[in-house]
Amino acid sequence: MGAFYMNNKTITTENKWYEIIWAVVLFTFSIALVISLFAFFSSKSGEFPVDDLSDGWDISFQGKQYHDVSRYDKRFSDLNFKRNDVITMERRIDFSSSALDDDRVTIRVYSRLSSIRVSIVGLDGRDRLLYFYGYDKGYSKTGSFLGSGYHFIQLPQNCYGMTLKIIEMASQDDAIQSLPEVLATPSSHAMEQFARDRGPGTFITVFLVMAGAILTIVSLSMAIVDRGFLDLCLLGLFSMFGGLWSMCALKAIEFFSQDIKMDSMIEYLSLYIFAVPLLALALRFLKKISYAVKVFIFASMIANAAVLVAAIISQKTGLANIDFLLPIFHVLLSLDAVVMVTVSILRWKKASLSEKIFEMGIYGVAILGVVYILYYYLIKRHDYAPGIFDNMIMPLALLSMTIFFLIAYIVGIYMKRIDKTQRKRLQNLAYKDNLTGLLNRTKGEQILSQLGANGQRYLVINFDLNFLKRTNDRFGHAAGDQYLKSFAGILTEVFSDATGICRMGGDEFMVAYQKAPDEKTVQEKLSQMKKLESKEEGSSPDGVIIDAAYGYAYSDENEKATGELIYSIADRKMYEMKFESKKGRSL
């Protein structure tokens, strides 16, 4: 155990803001990685010719034929497909224009919860299959959960003038609400153009995922020694899951994986779970909230986790697709938003600065949640390709919320440090001897009462200054005070490894060891003390003698030892030495 004594050179670990440093360093490191990725992709990107194949389609649907229509035609909005309903789209390939010369063409098709079959019909009427996804072997029905995402299909050379044919089949009710988005790009730049279309949203979501993962892994390992890192771990989980959901929603995950079914499952699972770490963070972060609110937050965490588990089980067993619990999740998210915002408003005046910053983040998440639900039901289900909300608004909002929570965390740590420093300063005033800078008798008695608590052999050394009264009488109290301070400095230097060094009153001092050194070490320290006394005496005014009697006792000297009893034994030995070693010196 380190020394408890107090002086101007006392070193404390309370001001080591390692949690703040770790948070800032890890977040900065993640930003550097994302900037590097951004620079890399920017160096590869550029303006490439893109044909938006929204017009000129011949549509076959429910036994009806429609010619030369646009995907934005109002007749093809709110289609309300039933499972295994089919829509066929055909269009003449006239987009191998001079802008795409000397390059193969890749079309990019978006599908939502549906299977897709792409072929070209030659001038001879033969249907040549290019790509299919989600069909069974007979192409007669779809599989189960198919997910949503982009399909990249490279067209064969010399296909100009042929007919592009796309057949889409719903894998579940309401899967298809409108005609799919179809774009044509040069094959050599298809993914670069895809990256360009995703814009900054890709880099924001990559940053959120990487920063969250790094924060989670490092803070979780640090939480083993300091539970304060649990807050940082929860923040990392929120950033990681929120970023992962947003990355999947804008389909930037297809840079890393083009398994549309798996990507969509990750999207739903990360969506179902990302509110849990935020609720846990609120439970830890917000102080003095009512018991009812705590119960609600905890119950909401369990409910969100239950939705996640139920979704996994239902998907695994084939009882239902993973998205069937989405309406329930939306209800939970709405309830969470209402309750958390209400609680934050009611306690705003009583909240600390860090709590207010955290609550501002809560407001942001609540607004984002409500806007997301409205966007999903009013727009996304009808025009289901990712739009500006997925590509920009949602990633920026999640980044802003994460930054708010990080700032709240850092401010909270800062305020805790200030509070601890203030408490430490008050404690020092209560336990410090103002003249010598050592601990006072109050603290000394507290230390004595704690000795032996760990079952180890302990030691108490008592000291009594000789000739203090004569020094006061001869040279004045200022010299006597200097005598006391000089001896306190000697004790501090010699017994720096002690549990406590105290001035017990007047000319009496005590040194205590929770874990006692051996007697040889004690004797060496006492010899060193005597040498320093002589050295200090040589620099003092003529006639001032610095000399102390001492006595020490170990805890095993008495079977019923207590700190107070060992102190009295050491005190008795000190007085025995004092009487035996009188030299008759006088001033």
- pLDDT beyond 80 at 30: no
Spatial contact of 416 and 380, defined as CB atoms under 8 Å apart? no
Looking at per-residue pLDDT, the higher value among 352 and 380 belongs to 352
The answer on pLDDT for 206 being more than 60 is: yes
Q: Residue 372 above 90 pLDDT?
A: no
Residue 232 confidence class, pLDDT cut points 50, 70, 90: confident
List where CATH 1.20.1070 sits in the chain: 18-44+199-425
Which of 33-37, 321-325, 429-433: highest mean pLDDT? 321-325
Weakest-pLDDT range from 78-82, 120-124, 139-143, 387-391 = 139-143
What pLDDT is attached to residue 100? Answer: 47
Q: Does the pLDDT of residue 97 top 50, yes or no?
A: no
pLDDT tens column, 434-480: 899 899 998 999 999 999 888 889 999 999 998 888 888 888 888 88
Mean of the per-residue pLDDT values for the chain?
82
The pLDDT assigned to 35 comes to 60
Give the residue range(s) of CATH 3.30.70.270 domains in the chain: 441-580
Residue 582's pLDDT is 65
Instruction: Name which of 107-116, 140-149, 329-338, 497-506 the model is least confident about.
Output: 140-149
CA 343 from centroid of its chain's CA atoms:
23
Mean pLDDT of 125-144: 74
Segment (H or E) for 167: strand 163-170
Neighbours of 557 (CB within 10 A): 13
371 has pLDDT over 80: yes
Q: Is 0.85 surpassed by the pTM of this model?
A: no
Which pLDDT belongs to residue 24? 61
Query: Chain centroid to CA 528: how far?
Result: 51
123/322 Cα distance (integer angstroms): 43
Summarize the confidence of residues 87-94 as an average pLDDT.
90
Higher pLDDT, residue 587 or 335:
335
**Which pLDDT belongs to residue 9?**
35
Beta bridge partners of 132: 117
Q: CA-CA distance, 217 to 210, in Å (whole number)?
A: 11
**What are the tens digits of pLDDT across the range 297-316?**
999 999 999 999 999 998 88
- Classify domain 441-580 at the CATH topology level: Alpha-Beta Plaits (3.30.70)
CA proximity to 136, closest of 190, 196, 84, 204: 84
Residues in contact with 438: Cβ distance below 8 Å, sequence separation at least 6, in sequence order = 5, 6, 7, 432, 488, 491, 492, 501, 502, 503, 509
The predicted structure's pLDDT at residue 47:
58
Least confident among 113-122, 387-396, 459-468, 484-493 = 387-396
Lowest mean pLDDT among 27-36, 204-213, 417-426: 27-36
Highest mean pLDDT among 45-49, 159-163, 254-258, 482-486: 482-486
Task: List, as one string, the DSSP characters of 105-120.
Answer: EEEEEEEESEEEEEEE
Top mean pLDDT of 22-31, 69-78, 140-149, 561-570 is at 561-570
Q: CA-CA distances (angstroms) from residue 193 to 51, 252, 258, 564?
A: 12, 12, 16, 81
What pLDDT, on a 0 to 100 scale, did the predictor assign at position 46?
Answer: 53
The CATH number of 51-196 is: 2.60.120
Confidence of residue 8 (pLDDT cuts 50, 70, 90): very low
In this prediction, residue 540 carries a pLDDT of: 67
- pLDDT > 80? residue 45: no
Is the pLDDT confidence value at 25 over 70? no
Residue 11 has pLDDT above 50, yes or no: no
What fold does the segment set 18-44+199-425 form as a domain?
Rhopdopsin 7-helix transmembrane proteins (1.20.1070)
Position 14 pLDDT exceeds 50: no
Distance CA 529, CA 524 (A): 9
